[in-house]
Structure formats: C-alpha cells, structure tokens
Amino acid sequence: MIPVVGYEGRKVAVLGLGRSGISAARSLVAGGAEALCWDDSVEARDRAAAEGFTIHDLTRAGAFDSVACLVVSPGIPHLYPEPNRVIAAAWEAGVPVDNDIGLFFRSLGQGDWMDHDTPPRVIAVTGSNGKSTTAALIHHIFSEVGVPSQLAGNIGRGVLDIEPPHDGEVIVLELSSYQTDLARSLTPDVAVFTNLSPDHLDRHGGMGGYFAAKRRLFAEGGPDRCVIGVDEPEGRYLANQLVEGLEDSRLIRISAGQKLVHGWSVFARKGFLSEWRKGRQSVSIDLRAMDGLPGAHNHQNACAAYSAARALNLGPRQIETALASFKGLPHRSQLVGEKDGVRFVNDSKATNVDAAAKALQAFPRIRWIAGGLGKDGGISDLAPHLGAVAKAYLIGFSARDFALQLGDTPYEICETMEVAVAKAAAEAEAGDTVLLAPAAASFDQYPNFEKRGEDFTAQVEALL
C-alpha cells in the first residue's frame, strides 16, 4: 500500500466505494487522514462500514464543512454529460476534487524515495486501444530481464494498492481517460500514447474533450521521455507540441505502418520492428513468429513497449527475447485453442469499431462472432475490413442492426454465444480463425467484456 501524504489529521471525502474508492480510503487512513466515505449503493456503504470506515452522506447540506479534498472514483462523471451532484457541491464549497491517480503521484515520491541508489521510475500508458496489452508487455519485459516491476492502474491492482517500490523498480500504469482527466498530479518518468479513436465521447463532451483528457498526461505531467503513436493526426499534433525538433531525443515516435526515419523512431512494417536514430536503422526484430503478438495492432503495441523499455536503457536484444516469450492477455487476441487447422481467438476486449477493425486485419480467413450492445454509428465503418470474413455470426441486442450493415458479407443471426461458437466451429475449414471481436459493449448479455470472453472460451473448450 502507498500511504497518502499531505492530509495528516484532515478530513478527506471519498465518493464511490468500488475498488479504487476503498483503496483510496485505506491509503488515506494509512497516511493519517480521516476518510469520510459515501456511495449511492447501500450495499457498498455497508461493506465500507464493516471495514471500519466512517460513512458520511455527501448529498446533504453542509457535507463539505471542514473537508480538505474530495476523492472521486473514475466511473463517476464530473463534467459531461453533466456533473455528479456531489462533485458540483464540492466545487461550490471550494473543495478540491481529485482521484486515486492524483493521490498516487502526490504521495509516491515522498518518504524514503530519495534514499534509493536508483530511484524507482514510473511508466504510464494511455490511448484508445492497446494500452492494456502495452502496459502488460512493458511489465513483462522488465520482469523477464530481472528488473523488479509492478503493474497497476486500469489493469491489475489499484495504484494505491501496490507495494512501496524497491531500489530501481519500475512501476507500469495503464491509465484510462477517466483517470487522466481528473488527476491533479501526473508526473510519470515515461509516458506512452498508443493511438486515438472515438470512445467515451458522451463522458468527455466529444472527440476534443476525449483527446484533451489523454493529452493531460503529457502536457501537465512533464515526463522525461515520451513515446507517441503518430498514426493519427492527434498523435502527430501531440508529438509536435512536446519537442523542439525532429532530433529531440525526449520523444520516440512509433507507428504500425509508416516508415519513420527522422529523430528517434520505432515502427513495424510487414511483421518487422525497426528502430531508427539519427537517420539510420539500428535494430530490426522479426515479430511474425511471436504468437502472443498477432496482427498489426499488436505490432504497434510491441513498438510502444519496446520504446518504453529503450527509454529506460534496456538493450534491444534483451527486449527481443522478452517479446518472444509474451503470451498475450486474456480477451485480447488470445489464442484459446486449435483443432484440425482451425484457430479460436478471443478478442472480447474489442468493444469498439477501431479495435474490431484491427482484429479483423490480423488473420487471413475469419469466422467472425460479433454483436452485443452496439455503439453510436454501428459497424458501418468496418466495411473496408470485411474482406477476410468468410461469415459473420451475430449475437446480442444489436445483431439485427449489425446484419443490415454487413453488405455482401454472409451472416447468420445466432443470438447467443453458445449457438455462434457451435455454428462457426461446424462450418470452419482448415486455415480459418473463429474470432470473437464483438465491436460492441457486453452489457446486454454480460456484466463486462471479461465474462463475455470467458463464455466464448468455455464454449470453445467444450468443443475441443
């Protein structure tokens, strides 16, 4: 646990008592603060009370009297589509609003931090797609080469739940736009921006607000070194703002398709990762046989992770060996099994069109399981990426809407995962990939994308 500093003997309100909220309350108490906890859910309040926390109704008048700060869980909107009433009341009372990420960066460098011979360093990863795999891959690389590492944030443990870092340790954080948008302190040593595509637009008031939330990690965090994906205009804009010129070594540009030969750059083309510095190629790594990193989107993740490791002075061949041993993450291009030349791949995390497009480009012939709770615009933007789809098997609430947007691609309305997997497996031929890449949220049939992926995995394992 990381004790929160700066609030000793003071009252700090905590709104939202899920994983991050309870973690923040524990760390506040460990740092000498009094945590005043509130959640709209009676069950959540009861769990907090059973743990000994003070339950304090933040919706009543005068609730913020003598309160030094309000700590908000990431799922609670603070601006769009409209501010939560408790957050609005905190603003009115002049109480600063923060989240667990802000508390983490505020507290991490205190205490015995400077007593380390090699101070621990923080790598923070954000972006629309690939940030979980990139963060996990960075953690894997450092662990494989013998450098102590912890993984936290939007993946793994809450940031305040990690152990106080050891000498020379690397802390890898995956940070969502919900987390970067509100944190009052953002000071990573290395910051990574993977890419940007439309997502969470209602929460951020549109694409500009969504990008602005990501940008805060770089513009306000002041990292020593930045790794920026430049395949979208926003990435190129961000890269341009952060440095004085092409040769500024504080920036590593990455791409999943462009050849980048200026400054310090890392890109992947035709399955090979290349590193260029000062106009010359210095490294080439063959990614094609790495089963844990299939497809161009995972090659971009490899470029981002490779660059972050290089930013902290790991050697190219050390990184290459670690990349080859990475097995991938559950629900993200996860190879579940293979039978009679047919591969079964679980990419349940492909909850939006951009992520699904990347999955559809990763395999030569696909039996595509898609559907769920569709997002604005449906899947019409996937039309250019359906060439490898032999047939679509549609499930969930948006199955019929998706069917209307498939053009000439064969499809079948299956409704449930069980039916879709059985149909796809029965019709698949050697060389096919049965791919779950829903292009939709899971909440019509499952509590989250993990449960959806677990159902797919269970159905496949039963067949195998």
Angle at 219 between CA 215 and CA 224, to 5 degrees: 115
Residue 130 annotated as binding site: yes
Residue 23 annotated as binding site: no
Max CA separation in the chain (angstroms): 68
Of the candidates 205, 250, 204, 202, which has an alpha carbon nearest to the alpha carbon of residue 228? 250
Structure tokens at 322: 């670690």
Alpha carbon dihedral 240, 246, 248, 253, in 10-degree steps, equals 70
Q: Is 154 exposed, middle or buried (0-12, 13-18, 19+ CB in 10 A)?
A: buried
Contacts of 277 (CB under 8 A, 6+ apart): 263, 264, 265
Rg (CA), the chain: 23
**Sign of dihedral through CA atoms 50, 52, 53, 55?**
positive
Residue 132 annotated as binding site: yes
Cis peptide before 384 (omega within 30 of 0): no
Answer yes or no: are the C-beta atoms of 125 and 174 closer than 8 Å: yes
Answer yes or no: are the C-beta atoms of 292 and 326 closer than 8 Å: yes
Q: How far apart are CA 314 and CA 118, in angstroms?
A: 15
SS3 195: coil
Residue 153 annotated as binding site: no
Q: How many CB atoms lie within 10 A of CB 83?
A: 16
Structure tokens at 153: 């944030």
Residue 127 annotated as binding site: yes
Contacts of 237 (CB under 8 A, 6+ apart): none
Please give the order of strands across the beta sheet that includes 34-38: 54-55, 34-38, 11-15, 67-72, 97-98
Q: How distant, in Å, are the alpha carbons of 67, 142, 171, 188, 445 from that of 120? A: 32, 13, 7, 11, 43
Answer yes or no: are the C-beta atoms of 394 and 372 closer than 8 Å: no
Please enumerate, by residue number, every residue annotated as part of a binding site for ATP.
Answer: 127-133
Please enumerate, by residue number, every residue annotated as part of a binding site.
Answer: 127-133
